[in-house]
Structure 1
Amino acid sequence: MTPLATPDIDEVVDQRASVDPDRNWQTVVWNDPVNLMSYVVRVLREYFGYPRSVATTLMLAVHEQGHAVVSEGPREQMELHAQAMHDYGLWATIRRVP
C-alpha cells in the first residue's frame, strides 16, 4: 500500500479570521401590531433591568424605526434573550454586530 501524498501548502490561513467566537451578537426587538408601548417598556425593565428612561428610549426606537438593539454579547446569551422576548410575546431575532 502506498502512502497518501500530502499536497504542498503555499498559503498560510489564519483560521481565527473566518470564525471569531468572541465576535458579539445582538438581540433585536421588532415592532408588532399587538403589544402596547407600555408593555414593551415593562418587559425591557423587568427582563433586562433597564431603568425606565432606557426602556422607554428602546421602546420608542422599536415603535418609530421598526426595531431596536436591546442587548449585545455572546451568541448563546443573545439566543436566550431572544427566546425570553418570545416568551413575553415580543418579536425578536439575533444578528452579528455589523
Structure 2
Amino acid sequence: MGALTTPDLDVDRRADVLERAHRPWQTLVWDDPVNLMSYVTHVFREYFGLPREAAERLMLAVHNEGHAVVAEGAREQMELHAKAMHDYGLWATVRRAPA
C-alpha cells in the first residue's frame, strides 16, 4: 500500500504572507460634514500637486462614495500623507491595498 501524503500547508501560508508583504498601502480620505468640497479640492491640489480635474474627481469620489484612495505606496509614506490630511482638517486613514 502506498504512503498517504498531505498537502504542504506551509507552502500555501508562505505564499499568502509574501503576497501580503508586497501589496502596497493606501491613504484614504473620508467624507465629513465639516469641510467644503472646494476646500477638499484645494487640499488635494496643494498637497499632492494634482491638476484641478484630478483633484475634483477625487473630491467627488469622497463626497459621493464616502471616501477615496488619494495615494498608494509604502506604508511609511501613506502614514505621512494621512498625517498631512489630518493637519489640513480632513479625515484620513491608511490601509493595505486590497488583493
Aligned counterpart, 2:42: 42
How many residues in Structure 1 have an aligned counterpart in Structure 2?
A: 89
Q: Among all aligned residue pairs of Structure 1 and Structure 2, give the percentage whose two residues are the same amino acid.
A: 66
Residue in 2 that maps onto 1:69 = 69
Matching residue of 1:82: 82
Q: Which AA in structure 2 matches 1:56?
A: E
Please tell me the residue identity of whatever aligns with 1:18: V
**Number of the residue aligned with 1:27:** 27
Question: Is the helix fraction higher in 1 or 2?
Answer: 2
Q: TM-score, normalised by structure 2?
A: 0.81
> Root-mean-square deviation (CA), in Å?
1.7
SS at match of 1:61: helix
Query: How far did residue 23 of structure 1 move?
Result: 2.2
| Gap regions ≥5 residues in structure 1 | 1-10
Q: Which has the larger radius of gyration?
A: 1
Deviation of 1:18 (Å): 1.5
- Structure-1-length-normalised TM-score: 0.81
Q: Where does structure 1 differ by over 4 angstroms across 4 or more consecutive aligned residues?
A: 11-17
Q: Which residue pairs with 2:17 in the alignment?
A: 18
